Homo-oligomer: A and B are copies of this chain.
Amino acid sequence: MRKLRLITALLIASSVCLAAPAALAQDGDTAVTTQELQFVFNTLLFLLGGFLVMWMAAGFAMLESGMVRSKNVATICAKNIGLYSIAGLMFWLFGYNLMYGVDAGGWIGSFTWYEHPTHEAETGSYAGTSDWFFQMVFCATAASIVSGTLAERIKLWPFLAFCVVLTGIIYPIQGAWTWGGGWLKEAGFSDFAGSTIVHSVGGWAALVGALILGARIGKYDSKGGIHPMPGSSMPLATLGTFILWLGWFGFNGGSQLALGTINDASDVARIFANTNTAAAAGVVAAMVLTQILYKKVDLTMALNGALAGLVSITAEPLTPTMPMAALIGVIGGVLVVVTVPLLDKLKIDDVVGAIPVHLVCGIWGTLAVPLTNDSTNFGSQIIGILAIGVFVSAVSAVLWFILKGTVGLRVSEEDERGGLDIAELGLEAYPEFGPVTSPSTA
């Protein structure tokens, strides 16, 4: 019986108030202690932040569904729900203890699975499992970034196999170096909510993947021509962006890791405001700049401008003033508008613009930390960016090449032209609308 359980819970609660002096009891009631209160508030922050970041998985799914052509939409949906699920399992099986089981100053934790602590073991300032949940959704975010870049040509299972290693091994090991308390932390590297540790990790894996996989058929011709392949649904792309923006309050706000004091609550509020301001500034910068450059606002750039602002503020969403948050976001928005055509010139085919958003702005955000946070320095930031970039790129490259050389990474030309949905899933995303073979196929 649901309601009676509450009374029992209350009785238990009263009795576990270990630190409350008995003399305070009155009418069977006791005073609450700081430790107890902190524990509940901090755990609540992890759970709130966690479900908001979990929601970002839907945001990536919608953004990518809107940015690919209709013949590949169902496959990108399958990849997104698949990778989120894989992250959830791998971060339990290996990831968490690899990342947080590291010795101070060390390089790697242990290959053991995560187990729920018992009530008796909950002696810290938050529930252990709430931290697992919060860190797990961050791991999933890194994998989500990869799927967009490589869309419309990578096979489903090899992509998911990459995600197994990315979420179970690659992400946790580099995460251990800073957030796990390892050597990069000791080296002074600072990345509050993961511009580098989450976003550029996904970005590096995506970049290396894009280089090894090659561009979509018809995207670039031999004469240097670049052929746009417009996304199938702008409202879904917009929805995805709004979802990501919403989820980012959990991403950055939750990374305060504590809520139960006046200072922590104020800091979380400040993080919310700075996060929103950077995103808003990124949108406005991208809209104004595309109007100036191309005489028209580019909606996909505006959407990516929001994400650019968000990624840029993620490495340090707490210390900036509002004008600095806006400036960090503006530069992020400009970087995306500038980098997207640059990648096309280099014939690096990034379907959704994930490399400009998550890698380029991830680096920018990480470099910007010392501008507002006096306890950091550019040298340490550069060491962190390079160390993580080299590690993730190298291991990803090895992994992509192994997959390419064994099961193969790319669908056949025929399947790519006909669409991955029919080839990989045997269905269509929109069976009643539009052409089965898209006119955009060269």
Docked CA distance A65–B128 (Å): 39
* Contact, CB under 8 Å: B298 / A119: no
- Interface readout for A275-318 with B: 1 if CB under 8 Å, 0 if not? 01101110110010001001011111011001000000000000
Q: What class of interface size applies to chain A in its complex with B?
A: 35 or more
- Interface readout for A413-430 with B: 1 if CB under 8 Å, 0 if not? 000000001001111111
Partner of A127, one of B26, B236, B269, B300: B269
User: What's the minimum C-beta distance from A224 to chain B, rounded to whole angstroms?
Assistant: 22
Partner of A34, one of B14, B54, B426: B14
List B contacts of A62 (CB < 8 A).
235, 239
* Contact, CB under 8 Å: A280 / B33: no
Docked CA distance A432–B82 (Å): 26
In this assembly, does A243 line the interface, its C-beta being within 8 Å of a C-beta of chain B?
yes
* Contact, CB under 8 Å: B38 / A258: no
List B contacts of A117 (CB < 8 A).
266
Docked CA distance A20–B27 (Å): 10
13 A-B contacts, Cβ less than 8 Å apart?
A9-B38, A13-B38, A29-B33, A48-B48, A50-B272, A61-B242, A62-B239, A69-B432, A80-B238, A85-B280, A117-B266, A232-B432, A433-B433
Docked CA distance A119–B263 (Å): 6
* Contact, CB under 8 Å: A13 / B263: yes
Which residues of chain A (25-45) have a CB below 8 Å from chain B? 26-27, 29-44
In this assembly, does A346 line the interface, its C-beta being within 8 Å of a C-beta of chain B?
no
In this assembly, does A322 line the interface, its C-beta being within 8 Å of a C-beta of chain B?
yes
Partner of A261, one of B16, B136, B242: B16
- Interface readout for A310-342 with B: 1 if CB under 8 Å, 0 if not? 000000000001110010000000000000000
Docked CA distance A302–B86 (Å): 12
In this assembly, does A435 line the interface, its C-beta being within 8 Å of a C-beta of chain B?
yes
* Contact, CB under 8 Å: A296 / B426: yes
List B contacts of A130 (CB < 8 A).
265-266, 268-269, 272
In this assembly, does A125 line the interface, its C-beta being within 8 Å of a C-beta of chain B?
yes
Partner of A136, one of B85, B233, B276, B296: B276
Answer whether A70 and B432 are a contact pair too, CB < 8 Å, given A1-B179, A124-B6, A260-B40: yes
List B contacts of A20 (CB < 8 A).
31, 34
* Contact, CB under 8 Å: A13 / B429: no
Q: Which single residue of chain B is at the shortest CB-CB distance from A124?
A: B6
Which residues of chain A (106-136) have a CB below 8 Å from chain B? 113-117, 119, 122, 124-133, 136
Answer whether A283 and B81 are a contact pair too, CB < 8 Å, given A242-B57, A270-B129: yes
* Contact, CB under 8 Å: B54 / A427: no
List B contacts of A284 (CB < 8 A).
82, 85-86, 89
Docked CA distance A272–B57 (Å): 16
- Interface readout for A54-91 with B: 1 if CB under 8 Å, 0 if not? 11011001100110011001100110111011111100
In this assembly, does A405 line the interface, its C-beta being within 8 Å of a C-beta of chain B?
no
Docked CA distance A266–B268 (Å): 22
In this assembly, does A52 line the interface, its C-beta being within 8 Å of a C-beta of chain B?
yes
List B contacts of A36 (CB < 8 A).
261-262
User: What's the minimum C-beta distance from A227 to chain B, rounded to whole angstroms?
Assistant: 13
Q: Which 10 A-B pairs have the closest CB atoms?
A: A58-B242, A88-B280, A13-B261, A130-B269, A85-B280, A1-B181, A19-B29, A85-B283, A77-B238, A127-B269
